[in-house]
Structure 1
Amino acid sequence: MNPRELLRGSFQAAIDAANPLQIVPLHLPDPPKGSTWVAGAGKAAAAMAQAVEAHWPAHAPLHGMVITPHGHRLPTRRITVIEGGHPLPDAQGEQATRTLLEAVRRLGPDDLLLGLFSGGGSSLLSAPIVGLTLDAYQAITRQLLLCGAPIQAINTVRKHLSIALGGKLAAACRAPVHSLIISDVTDNDPTHIASGPCAPDPTRFQDVLALLERYAISVPPPVMQLLHTHSQQGIEETPKPGDPLFRNVKNRVIATAHQSLAAAARFFQARGITPLILGDTVTGEAREVAQVYTAIAREVRHYGNPAQAPAVLISGGETTVTVKGSGRGGRNTEFLLALALALSGLENVYALACDTDGIDGTETSAGAILTPDTLDRATQLGLDPAASLDDNDTATFFEQLNDLVITGPTHTNVNDYRAILVL
């Protein structure tokens, strides 16, 4: 296999390791005495719903609704699939969230709420709290996504602005809750995945106010007054760890980034390439992470340390981008262009950086591929790599080189996948 095929093959192995159709059936609970109602949200929600339908006993009552991003719908028979806005919430997601909550409130002690959650659920369960309009919610979310804040900070805000996040979905339910979760966060903590609809939330409105100030998020005065009132009076606060309502709630993480990295490592190992897993919890500014990885790749290439070539550096996690330019791109193409500039054409080094959901930021590509001649080919086309990076126009850069990786929706999401191949 040539280097491009090796990298694409390893990425597919990582995606396959998080395939809901294979994973969900292994973790399904027994049907209850009453009926089972499915509530789900996220990029993997439709595939998870399909898996439940395929393996749920035919005689057992099964109904429900899952919300997935536009373009991620899959055919189902007993569970309704609704499409909503991502990464910005929209009116369809808001209405679906309210409908879903009403159904959950009607469940009784003999029923079961089966949660199906994955990354992306935070924007899909988008109905805002009383006193907050959807327009204001969208404006705050937009700023949070551009400011370089880690996902845990963003989700702390979203938990408190939505009527269904931060354990509020479980709080609305009188039936036992069993949630199956595909993790797209670095610590695999259910409270952070899809903003934890059925998980206790240790944060408070005071934390929201502190984060809005720290990241200089512009909030209309009436909304700020609303948040201050909630903070001072404890209004609509999220349920906390130790709350008795969670005695009948189970949150089970069934797929993680590390499982996918391990699958990719096996893919390379079977082809005689030494895999080095650098971790599934990589965070920080994408271009700064690229500098660190450049140093490791040079060490392997020049000195055979910590492994002799052929070797591959594999990592996951979620980097961030503080957007200052006006171009098109995501954190993976940002990482790759910074890596290209730092490597400066280092011989026999190739790389791929993609999001396992098939969407790099707001782009239609999953990410891109870097080759040793990336900068040379860019020069021949009259492109300025440094200027593209400064303008956060990295998707456009790789698009012009025909090096974007386009998969379409993968119907799963275990965060980013990066592989730097040193031959």
Structure 2
Amino acid sequence: MQKEIESVLSEFRRLDREKRKIFLLSLVEECDPHEVFILQQVLKLKGFGAFDIIGALPPELSVKILSFLDGKNLCACREVCKTWMNITNESAIWRLKCLEMLEIDKGAKIAQNMNIPKEGWKKWYQQKYRREVNWNNGRVQTITFLKGHRERISDAKLKENILVTGSADRTVRIWNIETGECIRTLCGNSFSCVDFLLEEKIVAASTFFRSSFIWNMETGELLRELNGHVSAVRCISLSKSYVASCAFDGSLIVWNWETGEKLATIPAEAVQIRIFESTILSLGSSSIKAFDIPNGNCIFSAAFNEGLLGWSYIQNYLLSKGAEDSMNGFPDQIVSSSNILNIISLCSDSRVYDFDTRRGRMISVNSGTLQLILLNETSRPIATRPHSLCNVEQSQPKEIVYPQGPYKSILSKEIFRTLNMDNRRIIVGCLSGMIAVLDFEK
């Protein structure tokens, strides 16, 4: 028997690769099921029982395939075998994951042009992923306080690391919230509302005494004082060329802020306004209207009964898309927004709130408690969940959890007047004039 086996093996060794293949195929065809099972067990013992398709591919293809997974599943893949661990450690995968997260943070066009680290992609992604987990659990990591205002915060606007606040103490303050420094204090009157443009370095603020002011952010120079309203101004909005304000009597006035020229006075019956390039969006008591600039003609009108809460979501959504895209298909966006607006109207008893429409988050103050509501489209991975106006479901409100220390005691004594949020922070403006920065990343 042994001699016969040796004879067959000797003949097999003399065969070339192609003939060996034919011989093996013929041999398997001659085997019964039990004999095939024995062959499988032998191959398994030899380590040939499974074929690693991913590991056998060219590196660029295996990286491309695994890059479709989220961070959590990538970490699970690295446990499969050494080959997969090496693939998941490739910086190209983590670079793509970082760009996905940056696209949600900043928008697609900005993400592609940002100066982000050339090395350490995985570490950067892990840091941001932990931030998202903290956010979705409502767990604040650090709190800092910005002190300077002596009376209530009436309005606040946040863009990147710059916060502009208006107060009843007759000042507007410009803050770097990364450092906690008050960069500049602008004086005037009891301010009701503020807005600013980062690129143009312009700050606008209006008062309860019918006037609006335009300053240079860097120098503090007063560029314009704008008058024309006959009642207190309740809202102001800036674009690259125009500034618009609406008063408590519903009137809306548009100026060219560079020249100070008044372009239009519109009896819009407006409660809130927002400029998008050459279009003004206006909220009335039961409708939303759009007016063109500089003529002030009404170019769109639709019934809208979701009030300030619904308006806040709509304008945040439009702003998140970027100025160049925000008004494209605008009427359709209003119509398609009914689902999400019905959901957030459940929180209509709150008068202080803000939205992050890129991630589907809402923060609000209810009975003096700061709460987080997640408006999640699906259960997709955190870093790849898109913003949307429809097909949304609401999670139960979560109370924001402060870090250990005196923070809860301090904030429980405050009355929250304004809320702003970005991808990592909540900014709270208080009746006392204090500002709290709640950070989910540090």
Question: Normalised by the size of structure 1, how large is the TM-score?
Answer: 0.26
Question: As a proportion of its length, which structure holds more helix?
Answer: 1
Question: Normalised by the size of structure 2, how large is the TM-score?
Answer: 0.25
Structure ID, larger Rg: 2
Higher RCO (CA < 8 A, seq sep 6+):
1
